[in-house]
Amino acid sequence: MWAKSLKHLGKTEVALKKIEQAIQLESSDRKTMLQRTMCSEEDIKQLRECLLLEMNQIPEQTSLDTEWLAGTNICLPQRMKVRADKVRKQHVKRLHRRPKKRDSIVEGSSKPQIDPSEYKRWKDVKENEKEKTSPQENQTEERQEKENDFNVEIVERQNSESDSGQASFSESEEPKKKPFTYEAPEYRHFETESESFSDSGFDTFDEKPHFEYPERTSVSKTSVTKTLSNSELVVSGITLTDRCEASLHPKPKKFETFKYQETLSNDELLKCLQSNKNRYKRCTVEIEFAHKAVCTNLNLADEVKEIVISGRSKCGKVFTDDEVVVEILGESKAQKNYTPRLKLDIAKETKDNIYGKIIGRLKKNRYEDIQHPVFICTWDDFSEHSMKPLCKTVPKINVSHTNCKHKYQVDLFSYDAERNVVEFQKTSTIDQAQKNAYCFLVAMIHWENMYPFGLILNVINTKGDVKTGLGILRLQHRVPCHYSKDATDATKLILQQKHQIDTRNKKVVQCFTISDGKQGAMEAAYSVKLIESRLYRIGIHIVDPTFIIKKGDAIDKEAEKRGTDFYVNKEVTPVYMVPERLSNELFSMEVGKVRKTLTVFFDVSIDPISGSVPENFKIMGTVERQIIEIEKQYKISDVQTLLKTEKMENEISILHGISKYLRKEREKNASFSTDINEMFPYEKNNFIDNLDAFILVKELHIFANQTVASFLFNKYPKCVPCEFHPRPPKNVFLKWKKSNEEHLDNTLFQLQDCELGPSAVCSVFNINPDRYKGLIPIQNNVWESMQESATSKQFGKLRLVMGADEVHPMQALGLENWIELQEKSEFKCSSPRGDHNHFALRVPMFTYFTAPLSRFIDLVVHRLIHAALDNHTEPPYTEDEIQRICGKMNQANRIRDQFRKSCLAFLFAHSLHSFPRIFNGFIQNVTNNDVELFFPTLRKLPRSSKILPINLMKSKHNPEFEKQVDFDRFFMTLKWENRIYSLKRVTKNSPKDCYLRIDPNQNVRFHHLKKWVEIIQALFSDKTKKIDSLMCTTDHHISNQQIRACWNTVNDVSSEVRGGNFAQQTCSYSLSFIYGQLLHIQMCADAQRGMLTPMPQLLDITPNVKICMQHTRDPLGVLTSTATTPAKEKYTAIKQYIDTWMPIFSMEVATQTVNGDSFTINDLPVTFRDGGGAFSLKHSFLEKRDIEFTSHSVDLLDIDEDGKDDQTDKKERFYMSGSDFLCIRCPLEPLNDIVSNFGKGAISPLKRYWIGHAKVHDVKYRTKKSEKVVGVAFVCHNKSPPIPVEMLNKKKECSVEILPKSDVCRLVILSLEMAISSING
């Protein structure tokens, strides 16, 4: 009645709203209302249709007072109609030079027959699909519905429905005429290679051979110029004459802008350390930012671990890794309550930071003997004419710019190594669009101001290829590439001589080798000999190069200088310590060769029944000289195959049994753990597939090194180079234990039976399982994988997945925090009463001797072994020499590890550049700036690759922080208000004003910790039946709705409502970010600091909610391009003006568009063509959702007045489509590799997306069977990944995010494009 009354009053819109509210009433309330008003549901529907019809009708124009309405727009439609009729009659078709036609947006196929089953991959589909079920199943479904609020469900829409967005065309027609065509350069597709990494006149990295000694000279009429390679410049630096150096120093100024405090001498510093140990600390410094450094206390027993240096004046003129003395200034103000701006990290000190200042340097550890070091630098975006070293040795370097006209130019200098001078060469302009693709070789000249002053010697274009990138990393880490001339000459001389091993009257042992696929010489061989019944003698034979390489010769000096091989992986050529040809021809253990070795022998008994070593058997090793002959070689994969298939006893199976026994004796129950760190996605070593074979070799080498360490210590207790790894202090252990869940330490596989502190041994058997309270999250796919393994009796596979702590959220974070707290292992000289314990390996003493061609410390150990075997009372090295060598080897190992870590991250980025993939990330920390993640197997990535900046998630409000119940941690909540549509998924209820909470734990299931402990105990005790009963029990897991964080949550959100009624277009939802929560992150590769770096690309929350961080992080890179021409005060022509300002305006438009609102259409069929594609939607679908793909009338850009003559009306009208940006996400088949298949996606889920960024190219409106349809064609950005073959010319269901430009931006761009088109003719 109310609606009828409003209708009679003419308030049609208000009446329609009342009808809609009546329809949405519950069935009981609606029945009561109908009885009270004496109306039927049919009456309400008829009234609704009548109101809709009345709203859509245009009222007829009655007599108007034209004089009163003069000057208004009321008559504009009629006037426009008259003008349009005149244009139609007077129009004469003329030839139009049309650009090359793009693929039409129209598909010449009939309506696609979409099989709905293809899309039923969602976990809640089954409950919605079941029709015929038993009463018991119905009760189960009702109970599950109460436990899980499935807010979004999949529906099947018929093509005949008015609100269905799917549409296709069977007819094809020519596109309407356009007045002009214009394509932005970044959206033009050429057959030639992209110019994004063009040389632009700069050098590219040219890898030189490692063996030849380089000499490059150029002869001119006046002098001979000796130039050095990039590698030589970085490794050796430059030397300048006094005259040249003086000319580069600035003239003294009257007023100094910045001045450092004077530092103390070494004697004064030592006095300070002795006089007040609480105030002065001996530390090593690490520069983090331009005005911040962190000093690490060298006194491990001191409670003060780190001291923060804040302010450039307090940091002083020091390099990273320098040994300095720090004066403590005080502590920060007490923070009793949590402040989100301060990063909360449970792995670090919970007390306040301690601040100080550097008062002097005791020792310079980097570039100690180099007068003017050369750094690899990148462009500094925040300071003009400044460069930032990649190695962070110094904060930044101000470079010479005397000849530069603007801030985008650099002065290039050349260095003459013959005359020791630098000379100005030229001034070059840096393309700002490609600035991240360049690296600069900068020589540091002096440090007399806030930052050092330097000269740019070279500009290297990284090009984006692997070869150049690895070359840059070699330069950055100062990896030596060329051998010295003395080492090269000595190698040639040795190879010219004959080296025959005399085997007469000597015992030669027949051996075999195991190749793991690494490049380089084979250094180890093995032998198995039956001595008597069930007693075998095992030999571990290591090649002995000391009979050729003598102490102090040229090759030995070169080996000591390098310290180690620089190995990355099997695809990258290593940088060898010993010349490669020498190693391969004289020392490598090839089949048929006879070699001199140092051998560790041991006897072992094999049980005839079990085929393994008897319990408590004591294995003792001896060290001897031995001549061997290589009889055969096994590949690592062959060894694994023999262990799986060969049932008869052989030499490989015997070594396998011994290695299992050695590992069990050393690690106890920790031997059940699986270290998946070697599964780094770009390792490509098939580690998991050949796990038993790798463990076999590793355990034999650990035993050999341990045996040699004990042998040498008994002979020379004061000069054995041992690797030392201390146990963390007790207070560190207690703090770590307190920061994790109760009893979590006892469940970590890698720490089983490890004594973490005094009388504190981690073991799952420490307490009764009944005392384990609480719940533990397990990944859904991991639990399914373990269940399948238990059911099929594949307990080895179950142990493999279950023992990988890194794939279980809480265990992974607990283990990662424990690793961060430990100190790094390092070499030091032994002492008779010293502690030589190696905590990580769980051995009392450890050294290295199994790789004398790859590690210099092994070569030293070989010489010590010879002296001990010859019963020399004095070793070949003094105690001071050993201590000095240990220090140098620690530095070489740090460089090697950092170099390999950087190379693997770079190679991984290159693989992601072609094949982005999703990884599981566990939330490790949250702040009001970012979310820090831990990725299994991706520990080698830099921090920037493992954080989600909150500003890139485009949340509606600032993050909200709350404290977790029953634990001293905080979680963060983000809120969004977005328009999310779908062609398949709808919500049960219309979006509410309040924020719907998305379930944060949809990817895990919770189990009782007691049950998990019982399974671990059964695994350790080999109780397979109990494992089967516990894993395959009918007892269901804990429902997520029973977890506090999951209360009142939904599985997904959408603006789509069942029934098609839209109360509001915006959907409000929130998501909590909690410690240990599992997120799905797709990784891609972006250029950062001159190198490709893995970066988060997509946060995959639910099927409907996905956040692309790539276009938010770099809108200029993926939506448009960077302007390269600066604005001028005057312009000589219109074309020059437009060419200058069009890119600048495009940058502004892209930035504004990304920061504005967007809307997403999910499950949208998209047809992909080469370089673009198209999709179509019914007009009714768009109209109901208030979506508009705008077209502009070109004549609206004119400013003609109505009073012009009729000649103006003869002008033809054209329409140009809008150019909104698109972010398209298309599901792809998952990568079928080890990383994805491990634990059914425990590391990388079995899904991934093609993500391309595009621009709307054309919009067409057509009528198909009385239904108006809108077709949209798009063009992909040049930097979007190539469209895969499996997507080309096919219709794929995608998620399309539309980023609409503002009307003002559209019209301005259209005006500029029309002007460009007219200028170009």
Question: Torsion angle of alpha carbons 1311, 1312, 1314, 1319, nearest 10°?
Answer: 140
442: amino acid identity, one letter? V
The token pair at 1114 is 């770099």
CA pair distance 490, 484, nearest whole angstrom = 10
The dihedral region occupied by 464, where left means phi > 0, alpha psi between -120 and 50, and beta the remainder, is: left
Predicted pLDDT at 518: 86
CA pair distance 207, 697, nearest whole angstrom = 34
Does pLDDT of 820 surpass 90? Answer: no
Mean pLDDT of the chain: 81
Burial class (CB within 10 angstroms; exposed 0-12, middle 13-18, buried 19+) of 436: buried
Task: Look at residues 950, 1237, 1217 and name the one whose alpha carbon lies nearest to residue 1107.
Answer: 950
Does pLDDT of 109 surpass 50? Answer: no
In tens, the pLDDT along 1136-1165 reads 888 888 888 889 999 999 998 999 999 999
Predicted pLDDT at 472: 85
Predicted pLDDT at 1309: 76
Predicted pLDDT at 174: 40
CA pair distance 1298, 1119, nearest whole angstrom = 12
Predicted pLDDT at 1257: 87
Q: Which residues pair with 1223 in a beta bridge?
A: 1253, 1297
The residues, ordered by sequence, that sit 6+ positions from 1251 with a Cβ below 8 Å of its Cβ are 916, 1082, 1084, 1097, 1098, 1108, 1110, 1223, 1224, 1225, 1226, 1281
The token pair at 955 is 């949340």
In tens, the pLDDT along 1055-1096 reads 888 766 666 788 889 999 999 999 999 999 988 777 888 999
Predicted pLDDT at 330: 73
- Mean pLDDT over residues 87-116, rounded? 44
Predicted pLDDT at 694: 93
The token pair at 175 is 């596109």
Does pLDDT of 170 surpass 50? Answer: no
Question: Is residue 1100 within 8 Å of residue 1025, measured between CB atoms?
Answer: no
Predicted pLDDT at 30: 60
The percent of residues above 90 in pLDDT, for the chain, comes to: 42
Q: According to DSSP H, which parts of 221-311 are helical?
A: 230-236, 242-248, 266-275
Q: What does 15-39 look like in DSSP terms, one character per residue?
A: HHHHHHHHHTS-HHHHHHHHHHHT-
What 3-state class would DSSP assign to 51?
A: helix
Burial class (CB within 10 angstroms; exposed 0-12, middle 13-18, buried 19+) of 95: exposed
Does pLDDT of 213 surpass 60? Answer: no
Q: Which residue has the higher pLDDT, 313 or 199?
A: 313
Question: Is residue 698 within 8 Å of residue 585, measured between CB atoms?
Answer: no
The residues, ordered by sequence, that sit 6+ positions from 307 with a Cβ below 8 Å of its Cβ are 281, 283, 294, 295, 297, 326, 328, 354, 355, 356
Residue-wise over 1140-1168: b if at least 16 C-beta within 10 A, else e? bebbebbbebbeebbeeebbbbbbbbbbb
Predicted pLDDT at 20: 67
Predicted pLDDT at 61: 41
1131: amino acid identity, one letter? Y
Predicted pLDDT at 208: 41
The percent of residues above 70 in pLDDT, for the chain, comes to: 77
911: amino acid identity, one letter? S
The lowest-confidence range among 53-57, 189-193, 422-426, 1032-1036 is 189-193
Question: Is residue 1108 within 8 Å of residue 1297, measured between CB atoms?
Answer: yes
- Mean pLDDT over residues 381-408, rounded? 89
CA pair distance 967, 951, nearest whole angstrom = 28
What secondary structure letter does DSSP report for 769?
G
Residue 1077 to residues 959, 1044, 1107, Cα–Cα distance (Å): 17, 13, 17
1047: amino acid identity, one letter? W
Confidence class of residue 1170 from pLDDT cuts 50, 70 and 90?
Answer: confident
Which residue, chain included where needed, has tokens 């399974």? 1015
Q: Which residue has the higher pLDDT, 1028 or 63?
A: 1028
Does pLDDT of 119 surpass 70? Answer: no
Phi, psi of 208 (to 5 degrees): -95, 155
Q: According to DSSP H, which parts of 507-588 are helical?
A: 554-562, 580-582
- Mean pLDDT over residues 576-592, rounded? 93
Confidence class of residue 576 from pLDDT cuts 50, 70 and 90?
Answer: very high
Confidence class of residue 844 from pLDDT cuts 50, 70 and 90?
Answer: very high
Confidence class of residue 305 from pLDDT cuts 50, 70 and 90?
Answer: confident
In tens, the pLDDT along 496-527 reads 988 888 888 889 999 999 998 888 899 999 99
638: amino acid identity, one letter? D
1134-1155 helix and 1303-1319 helix, angle to the nearest 10 degrees: 150
Confidence class of residue 834 from pLDDT cuts 50, 70 and 90?
Answer: confident
Does pLDDT of 1247 surpass 80? Answer: yes
- Mean pLDDT over residues 808-822, rounded? 91
Does pLDDT of 843 surpass 60? Answer: yes
Q: What is the pTM of this model?
A: 0.80
In tens, the pLDDT along 326-343 reads 999 876 443 344 444 444
Containing H/E element for 1082? Answer: strand 1078-1088
